[in-house]
Amino acid sequence: MSGSPRAGQSGPAAAGESPPDEQWLLGPGHGALRVRHLGRTDYRQTWQAMVDFTAARTGETADELWCCEHLPVFTLGQAGKPEHLLTDLGIPLVNSDRGGQITYHGPGQVVIYLLLDLARRRLKVRELVAAIEQAVIDLLAEHAVGAERHGGAPGVYVGAAKVAALGLRVRRNCCYHGVSLNVDMDLSPFALINPCGYPGLRVTQTRDLAIPLTASAAATALARHLAEQLERK
């Protein structure tokens, strides 16, 4: 990938999808928030684009949300333990610089990356985590599904099953990485790992919760809820 997306430029090219589209949910102005829909992307390329974007941003760079789906991949956080990959069936494993342990990304899962200037927003990481979780909880509540946090285990759960995972990285008071929401995907690769480092952790998805959203519609709705949470901060 050549370079990183900046104001007026698109993000990573989608694999086999139409060109990314973008919209403003907040701003322009101090709280400006640009949303980019990237389609289906390669994890490594998208990660590198986030690193480049964060390194190149200035005090005038607008914050962005990048919405995408990934080709099948396991990712391991900075402190992740390789033994949480239980079975190797050839799905790539990427050692990432985000927080958290191991998780799976694949088609039908919505990933939204939050590229935010935390200092400018006067936002602490713990507050951001709570805001991300609340955005998912609010989205599910719109469809009469009750969801909750579990203390000490970031993410969003419906009963004992995890429906959304999150991991962040902060550099120069700016963050990247974000949240993944299982929508309409093949969940079987989660059986090959200890999801988020927890043996036997169940996972679920919005389709199995009788929420009639496509991945694209879920991305749009979750981006809106994230913007609403950030606007309150």
List residues with catalytic annotation.
Answer: 196
DSSP-derived secondary structure letter, 13: P
Angle between helices 215-232 and 125-141 in degrees, nearest 10: 130
Calpha distance 77→101 (Å, rounded): 5
Using alpha carbons only, give the angle 216, 13, 108 rounded to the nearest 5 degrees: 30
Q: In whole angstroms, give the CA distance from residue 79 to residue 63.
A: 27
Q: Is 103 exposed, middle or buried (0-12, 13-18, 19+ CB in 10 A)?
A: buried
Cis before 5 (ω within 30): no
Q: What are the structure tokens assigned to 101, written together? A: 């342990």
SS3 178: strand
